[in-house]
A and B are shown apart, each in its own frame.
Chain A
Amino acid sequence: MLKYVAKRLLMAVFILWAVATIAFALTFLSGDPATLMIGDHWTSEQIASFREAMGYDRPLLVQYGDFLAGLPQGDFGVSVRQQIPVMDLILQRFPATLELTAAALFLIVFISIPIGVLSAVKRNSLADRVAMSGALFAQSVPTFWLGIMLILVFGVWLRWLPVSGRGTFLHLLLPAITLATFSTARIARLVRSSMLDVLGQDYIRTARAKGLPNWRIYYVHALRNALIPVITLLGLEIGGLLGGALITETVFAWPGIGRLTLQAIQARDLPLVQGVITFGALVFVLVNLVVDLSYSFIDPRIRHE
């Protein structure tokens, strides 16, 4: 087990290094980062002094070394536009994204699992068919369009809910639904197929033969075993949620990391772009590390020798 944890940790560090390197390389993708950031309206002397101030005149390897050395301390440099350390900006916005993502995860788990279980138990019934076509449909609705439609219906026409900003529980409702819809549909479909696999197993027949009530068979014996692939996908969905937050936060003017990212990209604030990309990968890698390590607790049959 210890060896497995060590191996997974090493892998996580390797992936983070690779992502950080890609983020670093992005800076130089367009040629001269100084010109890219402050535009063509400046004189060449001004650009040169900016280049020197940012350290872009140093050898590439030295810059790369400095960049990597700063990572363990969370030092991504200073935002060019706002003149605030990148990490401070990220930490300022992180709670908003955490709140939105947590609300979306809550919706995903508490809607998709009951629907998936019901569909599997009542396989091929009308309810199953409606639920599964609905799920496929929900998977086909683009996030930003769903957000706009919710704003149109609940904000503009009915005037029931606020459509932008953060604050009360009501502010959270529409963005959370928007962010959760795609993953909810995807997970409901996976719960159904995973449950169907498990319901065919011998130990379910044993449970039935013992005369256990149905709800106990479905929710205690079957669901627990069906959850392993679901939890894996949930971990991977975190990455999707981070990407989805970019769009959802833009549509609802939600002051989180996603909106910060888009603003950084539009303002060509390269240190900030590098920072949010690496930070996003860090969150994703950590979540998936926890997910991998949790398998043996959920299913004692899985022991990493």
Chain B
Amino acid sequence: MNDLRRRLVRSPVALVSVSILGLMLLLALFAPWVSPVDPGAIDIRTRLTPPSWMDGGSSDHVLGTDNVGRDVLSRIIHGARVSLFVGVATVLLGGIFGSVLGLIAGYFRGWVETVIMRLVDIQLAFPSILLAVAIMALVGPSMMNVVIVLSIATWAPFCRVARGQTLQVCNQEYITAAEALGLRDWTIMWRHVVPNIINPLIVVASFALATNIINEASLSFLGVGVPPSTPTWGGMLGEGRNYLRIAWWVSTLPGIALMLSVYSVNMLGDWLRDVYDPRIGD
């Protein structure tokens, strides 16, 4: 961990991404206190006000307003909450579920492995966003449903990597030694296998986080994600799209926030992969 911190300080790329993500996280946590106005406050008189630096802009709404006069900046700040929460929650749920299954498959082998890996094949044979949209349309929009549906779409890559790594680790002599000592399977898995397969899984997690932030935004954009009463980046983009010709800022600015977050997560993931496995990085 100390080593990781030392490398982090030395890498400008990683430092920038961690700073951007940290800023997003702070904005998300303190959204009610840092956003200038209530993100849901409607004011038809000031609808489609341009950002403050443009003609007709106002310093009351630095990034302008949307089609019903809601403040774009406040909505972007509140949108960070949904994006980060859904991203982290789905990666934790799907990641832990997939990794545990992969660990079991790689450790016990036999029919358990066959069944689990066929499930992975089925899951991967399916454009996950398609399935997510279909399920969401049937179960109805809610934050909880989005988290469940995207977690289901997330587990398979974790399972695959965890199994592969477990297979490698189980060939090592220290595992044979642990077995010879008569340790129980669960003890060997928890104490000796898990610590040795965790790093590649963290790398998978970083890319899954980026994917799920985009997927949540896609669901909200298509109108089947988080209910429209909650401000989300994807939802803002979807609504602003209809006003593209007269008010470009409504759908452009939340997209920049979304892209910056995803880019930071991807850069961090890339950097982590180089740190953990310099071979793949080349």
Q: Using a CB–CB distance below 8 Å, which chain A residues touch chain B?
A: 11, 14-15, 18-19, 22, 26, 29-30, 36, 136-137, 139-145, 148-149, 151-152, 156, 193, 196, 236, 239-240, 242-244, 246-247, 250-251, 261-262, 265-266, 268, 273, 277, 280-281, 284-285, 288
In the assembled complex, which residues on chain A have CB atoms less than 8 Å from the CB atom of B255? Answer: 142, 145, 148-149
User: Pick the contact of B237 from A145, A280, A284 — CB < 8 Å?
Assistant: A145
- Interface size of B in residues (CB-CB distance below 8 Å): 44
Q: Does A242 lie within 8 Å of B137, measured CB to CB?
A: no
Q: Residue B134 at the A interface, CB < 8 A?
A: yes
Asked whether, in the complex, the Cβ of A148 is within 8 Å of the Cβ of B251, the reply is yes
Measured CA separation A5–B130 after assembly (Å): 29
The A-contacting residues of B in range 194-244, CB under 8 angstroms, are 210, 214, 217-218, 221-224, 234, 237, 241, 244
- The answer to whether A152 and B262 touch across the interface, beta carbons within 8 angstroms, is no
B139 at interface, CB cutoff 8 A: yes
The verdict on B97 contacting chain A, using a C-beta distance below 8 Å, is no
Residues of A within 8 A of B121 (CB): 11, 15
Say yes or no: A15 contacts B125, CB within 8 Å.
yes
Set B122, B252, B262, B280: member contacting A18, Cβ < 8 A: B122
Q: Are A30 and B139 in contact (CB under 8 A)?
A: yes
Rounded to whole Å, the gap between the CB of B133 and the closest CB of chain A is 6
Looking at the complex, which one of A29, A141, A144, A239 makes contact with B135 (CB distance below 8 Å)? A29
A156 contact from B118, B138, B244, Cβ within 8 A: B244
A265 near B214 with CB under 8 A, answer no
Sample of 28 A–B contacts (CB below 8 Å): A11-B121, A15-B122, A18-B122, A29-B138, A139-B266, A140-B262, A142-B217, A142-B262, A143-B214, A144-B217, A148-B241, A148-B255, A151-B244, A152-B252, A156-B245, A156-B248, A239-B125, A243-B127, A244-B129, A251-B241, A261-B134, A262-B133, A265-B133, A266-B223, A277-B134, A280-B126, A280-B130, A281-B125
A277 to B118, Cβ gap below 8 A?
Answer: no
Across the interface, B244 reaches (CB within 8 A) one of A152, A244, A261, namely A152
**Least Cβ–Cβ distance between A251 and chain B, in angstroms:** 8
Q: Residues on B close to A: CB < 8 A?
A: 118, 121-122, 124-131, 133-135, 137-139, 210, 214, 217-218, 221-224, 234, 237, 241, 244-245, 248, 251-252, 255, 258-259, 262-263, 265-267, 270, 280, 282
- Select which of A196, A266, A284 is within 8 A of B126 by beta carbon: A284
B118 touches A14 (CB 8 A): yes
A250 engages B222 (CB within 8 Å): yes
The interface residues of chain A lying within 8 Å CB-to-CB of B262 are 140-142
CB distance from B132 to the nearest CB of A (A): 9
- Smallest beta-carbon distance A188→chain B, Å: 14
Residues from chain A with a CB closer than 8 A to the CB of B124 are 236, 239
What is the chain A residue whose CB lies nearest that of B132? A243
- What CA separation (Å) do A145 and B139 show in the bound complex? 26
Contact of A240 among B127, B135, B237, B251 (CB under 8 A): B127
Contacts A196-B282, A246-B133, A265-B137 given; indicate if A136 touches B263 (C-beta within 8 A).
Answer: yes
